[in-house]
Amino acid sequence: MVGVPRPTRAELDAARDRTIPDVVAPGLAVLFCGINPSLYSAATGHHFARPGNRFWPALHLSGFTPRLLRPDEQGLLPGFGLGVTNLVRRATARADELSAEELVRGGARLRALVGRYRPRVVAVVGVTAYRVAFGIPDARVGRRPETVGSAAVWVLPNPSGLNAHYQLPDLAAEFRALRRALPEIGQESC
């Protein structure tokens, strides 16, 4: 990662339970919602910062950004109509360290954030976390019939390099499906 030094083991250990700021603005086209920050992300202060995480490449390959952004360029996202938050704010080494109750509380926090900033779409990256947070055990990747506040919901695969079910081209294709659907989303009620 250019421009941001790699955290030391001590810095990673110190990052446990740390939070990182949301990247939000009113009226975004898409608010991407991760599960929770990794220790690497918390140590650097940047979303999806861990090497091997494919969020930034998928965002670019799908056409959401004109070039591949680095995690330390996350502040540019609102200029593209995009934002980033997490269901659970505290950093952990693994998502399975989170309790179901934390994910459910995270769903409530996301509803409040959507009410305040009113993005057109909330894209949750992590189908299992979405199922738990919103009590929809059969949820699948793609557009969802439910909403979060006034926002349409789209579930995307977890971009972690540990997710072997989706290679980068497949992940980018799922992100691209959302981008291509954006012109119609929000127009349905007009």
Number of alpha carbons in the 13 Å side-chain half-sphere of residue 185:
25
pLDDT of residue 161: 78
pLDDT of residue 24: 98
Could you tell me which of 92, 88, 107, 108 has the C-alpha nearest to residue 22?
88
pLDDT, one tens digit per residue, over 19-43 is 999 999 999 999 999 999 999 999 9
Gyration radius (Cα) of the chain, Å: 15
Q: What percent of the chain has pLDDT over 70?
A: 96
How would you class 173 by CB atoms within 10 Å of its CB: exposed for 0-12, middle for 13-18, buried for 19 or more?
Answer: middle
What confidence category does residue 176 fall into, taking pLDDT thresholds of 50, 70 and 90?
A: very high
pTM of this prediction? 0.95
189 inside domain: no
Distance, in Å, from the CA atom of 156 to the CA atom of 169, rounded to the nearest integer, reads 13
What confidence category does residue 5 fall into, taking pLDDT thresholds of 50, 70 and 90?
A: confident
Distance, in Å, from the CA atom of 56 to the CA atom of 69, rounded to the nearest integer, reads 6
Query: How many domains does the structure of the chain reveal?
Result: 1
**Residues 18/91, Cβ–Cβ less than 8 Å:** yes
1 inside domain: no
pLDDT, one tens digit per residue, over 42-90 is 999 999 999 999 999 999 999 999 999 999 999 999 999 999 999 999 9
pLDDT mean across residues, the chain: 94
Longest dimension (CA), the chain: 53
**N- to C-terminal Cα distance for the chain?**
43
pLDDT of residue 3: 61
Whether the predicted pLDDT of 190 surpasses 50: no
What confidence category does residue 1 fall into, taking pLDDT thresholds of 50, 70 and 90?
A: very low
How would you class 128 by CB atoms within 10 Å of its CB: exposed for 0-12, middle for 13-18, buried for 19 or more?
Answer: middle
Using CA atoms, how far residue 125 sits from 2, 9, 11, 102, in Å, is: 25, 27, 26, 16
60 inside domain: yes
Distance, in Å, from the CA atom of 97 to the CA atom of 141, rounded to the nearest integer, reads 23
Residue 18, SS3 per DSSP: coil
53 inside domain: yes
Q: Which of 60-64, 123-127, 173-177, 182-186 has the lowest mean pLDDT?
A: 182-186
Domain boundaries, position 55: 23-181
Whether the predicted pLDDT of 143 surpasses 80: yes
Query: What does the block give as tokens for 24?
Result: 């939000």
5 inside domain: no
10 inside domain: no
For the domain that residue 142 is a member of, what is the CATH number?
A: 3.40.470.10
110 inside domain: yes
Distance, in Å, from the CA atom of 174 to the CA atom of 155, rounded to the nearest integer, reads 9
pLDDT of residue 112: 98
pLDDT of residue 169: 96
